[in-house]
Chains A and B, each alone.
Chain A
Amino acid sequence: MDNWLKICIVVVFAVATTGNEEATPAKLLFSKQILNKYLVEGMDIVIKYSLFNVGGTAALDVQVADNTFGPQDFEVVGGQLKVTIDRIPPGSNATHVVVIRPSKYGYFNFTAAEVSYLPSEDAAEALVGLSSEPGQGAIVPFKEYDRKFSPHLLDWLSFAVMSMPSLVLPYALWYSSKTKYEAIMTQKKDK
């Protein structure tokens, strides 16, 4: 009788907690990260968008849109700035990567992207959220970056070729005269 009572109590609790979990709507945490160390004019910038569903239900019809990169300042070279993810299960995450290329240099404020999603199957309205903001970044001119990092191998090779006549020619002339008279001295010593 006692055992039977204990089993009934356990079953009631299990049903109650299961019922509570199913009721928690989807909740997405949204982050936007710039993966580059250097932001350079005319060179690729990689943006990573990460969505974490910390709710108890799957997030449906997740639409991510980043309208912060205007076409006059940036060119999209990989991925898309507007994507739709059908479903993000509870407790899981989704990531999306976009590669853009800035066409101008200067300071740029990297602001938030937007996300809208249905927090449950029977939700009437979509929830809208914003991602984290990476903040202000300096996009350096290509000249500066190239000056700092390019090996300039061809330029150094050209410099070496240009310098050769000024160095090799006088040395060769001096050396030929030197060896000629040293040879005369050697001959004298041999005799």
Chain B
Amino acid sequence: MTQKQKALSKEEEILLQDFSRNVSTKSNALFYGNAFIVSAIPIWLFWRIHFMDLLTSSPLFLIITCLSTYLVSFAYKKTKFVLKHKVAVKREDAISREISKMIAEDKKMNKKEKDERVLWKKNEVSDYEATTFSIFYNNALFLAVVIGLSFFLLKSFSPSFNYILSVGLSSGLIALLSTGTK
């Protein structure tokens, strides 16, 4: 009875993980780290091309980078959650085939254990692919919108205003787009 309960709770745990919007601490660190790096990259453009002074503009750079880091990591999490389920559906067959191949010689393993392992692997692979694609997709979109805004739409604005609007609006836009369900 106790073992059954344990087995059920393990399966429930995996299912909960699968459907949960919460990310692990490791994923959180990965998201915030990537978001910080990508939010800091536009500072180079504004320093070298728009000739913003690094020292005098450093408080502004810090505030906007922090805001952008939060919004970009928000976008990563939301996008990852949406993608994870799509990836899980796509990879289900391939993963169960892979697991079957791996445990073919292990005759001690029963069907339930095999299903658990497939579920766990499916969660892991879909989490991995969704995370990496979410980071790539949001980074590309963020940088493209920053360049489009700062060098085309907002080029006649003063450099400080240009920076606030282009980075702020880009991170806001990707955060907004990530809340879509499709």
CA distance in complex: A185, B44 (Å): 44
Complex contacts, B98 vs chain A, CB 8 Å: 181, 184
Binds A, one of B14-22, B34-42, B57-65, B105-113: B34-42
Q: Does any Cβ of A come within 8 Å of B118's Cβ? A: no
**Looking at the complex, which one of A156, A170, A177, A188 makes contact with B97 (CB distance below 8 Å)?**
A188
CA distance in complex: A155, B49 (Å): 7
B39-79 interface (Cβ within 8 A of A): 41, 44-45, 48-51
Complex contacts, B45 vs chain A, CB 8 Å: 155, 159
Closest residue on chain A to residue B90 by CB atoms: A181
Complex contacts, A178 vs chain B, CB 8 Å: 129
Q: Count of B residues near A, CB < 8 Å?
A: 27
A133-165 interface (Cβ within 8 A of B): 143, 146-147, 152, 155-156, 158-159, 162-163, 165
CA distance in complex: A159, B144 (Å): 12
Q: Does any Cβ of B come within 8 Å of A12's Cβ? A: no
- Asked if B132 contacts A167 (CB within 8 A), the reply is no
CA distance in complex: A156, B91 (Å): 39
Complex contacts, B95 vs chain A, CB 8 Å: 181
- Asked if B136 contacts A163 (CB within 8 A), the reply is no
Q: Does any Cβ of B come within 8 Å of A182's Cβ? A: yes
Complex contacts, A173 vs chain B, CB 8 Å: 128, 132
Q: Does any Cβ of A come within 8 Å of B139's Cβ? A: yes
Q: Does any Cβ of B come within 8 Å of A174's Cβ? A: yes
**Looking at the complex, which one of B48, B91, B133, B143 makes contact with A181 (CB distance below 8 Å)?**
B91
15 intermolecular pairs with C-beta atoms under 8 Å apart: A147-B49, A155-B44, A158-B44, A159-B44, A159-B45, A166-B38, A167-B136, A167-B140, A170-B34, A170-B133, A170-B135, A171-B132, A177-B128, A181-B95, A188-B97
Residues of B within 8 A of A (CB): 34, 37-38, 41, 44-45, 48-51, 90-91, 93-95, 97-98, 125, 128-129, 132-133, 135-136, 139-140, 143
